[in-house]
Homo-oligomer: A and B are copies of this chain.
Amino acid sequence: MKVNGKHFRTIWVDKDNPEIIKIIDQRHLPHEFIIEELKTVTDFATAIKEMHVRGAGLIGATAGFAMYCAAISSPENNFSTSINNAARKLIKTRPTATNLAWAVNRQLKAMAEVESREEKIKKAFTTAKQTADEDASFCRRIGEHGLEIIKEISKRKKGEPVNILTHCNAGWLAFVDYGSATAPIYAAHNSGIKVHVWVDETRPWLQGAGLTCWELGGEKVPHTLISDNTGGHLMQHGMVDMVITGTDRTTYTGDVANKIGTYLKALAASDNNIPFYVALPSSTFDWRINDGLKEIPIEERSADEVLYIKGLSSQNKLEKISICPAGTRAANFAFDVTPARLITGLITERGIVKADKDAILSLYPEYR
């Protein structure tokens, strides 16, 4: 998508040196646009763990390239041990995101198909690129399917703006391109349908305020920033026509682990009869577990992310400020699980499906 009018993806191969992978270091957005080069497995692991990159699809794509980088740096005589160590190291970085293990395992499987170190490196490169390209193409198709829902609401509202609430950033910055939750919004906006997005700021990391506002601004989609507390009130007063969020892991039974606070918005949508959609490429499904609440591990991050907030000071300097008395204890659960019963539908690259086992497995029969 566009940054100051120029097209970018969130991750790409350096055009001069294919052993260097480039990313947008998202920690500095929206205040600075910094491109970072990743060269070692440690670079990649840090970038994922410390959230230089984040979001379901982008974590997967980054993990894919990380495994290619691991292959490059693994010596002939110790290749398999070295690669498996890298795989373990990477999978540990973020426990909730399912795309991470999915992309790593895809690479292990792909490399196992060929013999020599050289072939394995080549295979890892094409698989990494394929994983990234697939993510972009799946998101584009999510946009096409989701567009139909927005079209319908727009027609019912006789062309009045369709008000869509989103939580966190499931935009192109969370994927390789287009985004999941934002793909239908961009598709609608680009086809001339009037949309307006309520952007949850999404504490503690403020991905909504920092990233979603930034990318909607880049595409000139009308939007309004709100505190995470606000969505319920808006829904009670008819100011929200639909909710679309992303997901970091979705069980094949339709439970959705997404950014902490998603569950609260799903409850409010349900209480006010507002459609609540979750958009995801199929790489985000977890085909092994059926009870999201009991089985999806929820990442706990540093208390500092709650105790301190980063932003731009009046002197145009990035500052970290404390919002509470010194010595305050904080807890920082990064995700929550929204049970399938609260979800109107899942928007996937293959179409829109009810959040239940039979419907999901009908759309993805290969996982039966």
Q: Which residues of A contact B (CB under 8 A)?
A: 30-31, 198, 201-204, 206, 209-210, 213-214, 217, 223-234, 236, 259-261, 263-265, 267-268, 271, 293, 298, 306-314, 319-325, 327-333, 335-337
Return chain B residues, CB-CB under 8 Å to A210.
Answer: 323-324
24 residue pairs of the A-B complex, CB under 8 angstroms, read A30-B324, A201-B306, A203-B203, A203-B229, A210-B324, A213-B324, A213-B325, A225-B306, A225-B324, A226-B306, A226-B330, A227-B261, A228-B228, A230-B261, A231-B264, A233-B298, A233-B333, A233-B335, A236-B293, A267-B271, A311-B322, A311-B323, A312-B321, A312-B322
Return chain B residues, CB-CB under 8 Å to A213.
Answer: 324-325, 328
Instruction: Say how far A335's CB is from chain B's closest CB, in angstroms.
Output: 8
Cα distance, A229 to B325, chains bound together (Å):
21
B229–A228 touching, CB < 8 Å: yes
Q: Which residue of B lies closest to A335 (CB)?
A: B233
Given A319-B313, A321-B309, answer yes or no on A229-B259 (Cβ-Cβ < 8 Å): yes
Instruction: Say how far A201's CB is from chain B's closest CB, in angstroms.
Output: 7
B202–A229 touching, CB < 8 Å: yes
A232–B261 touching, CB < 8 Å: yes
Given A227-B260, A321-B319, answer yes or no on A328-B217 (Cβ-Cβ < 8 Å): yes
Given A229-B203, A263-B268, answer yes or no on A320-B314 (Cβ-Cβ < 8 Å): yes
Given A293-B236, A319-B313, answer yes or no on A203-B227 (Cβ-Cβ < 8 Å): yes
Given A322-B312, A336-B233, answer yes or no on A329-B268 (Cβ-Cβ < 8 Å): no
Cα distance, A309 to B264, chains bound together (Å):
23
Q: Which residue of B lies closest to A322 (CB)?
A: B312
Return chain B residues, CB-CB under 8 Å to A313.
Answer: 313, 319-321
Return chain B residues, CB-CB under 8 Å to A203.
Answer: 201, 203, 227-229
A224–B324 touching, CB < 8 Å: no
Given A236-B336, A311-B309, A321-B321, answer yes or no on A264-B226 (Cβ-Cβ < 8 Å): no
Cα distance, A202 to B209, chains bound together (Å):
16
Cα distance, A14 to B297, chains bound together (Å):
56
Instruction: Say how far A276's CB is from chain B's closest CB, in angstroms.
Output: 13
B214–A323 touching, CB < 8 Å: no
Cα distance, A233 to B271, chains bound together (Å):
18
Return chain B residues, CB-CB under 8 Å to A337.
Answer: 233, 236
Which 5 A-B pairs have CB atoms at the shortest separation, nearest pair first?
A229-B261, A311-B321, A233-B336, A203-B227, A267-B267
Cα distance, A204 to B204, chains bound together (Å):
12
Q: Which residue of B lies closest to A312 (CB)?
A: B322
The listed residue (B226, B259, B331) touching A224 by CB distance below 8 A is: B331
Cα distance, A306 to B309, chains bound together (Å):
13
Instruction: Say how far A268's CB is from chain B's closest CB, in angstroms.
Output: 6
The residue in A202, A259, A264, A320 that gathers the most chain B C-beta atoms within 10 A of its C-beta is A264
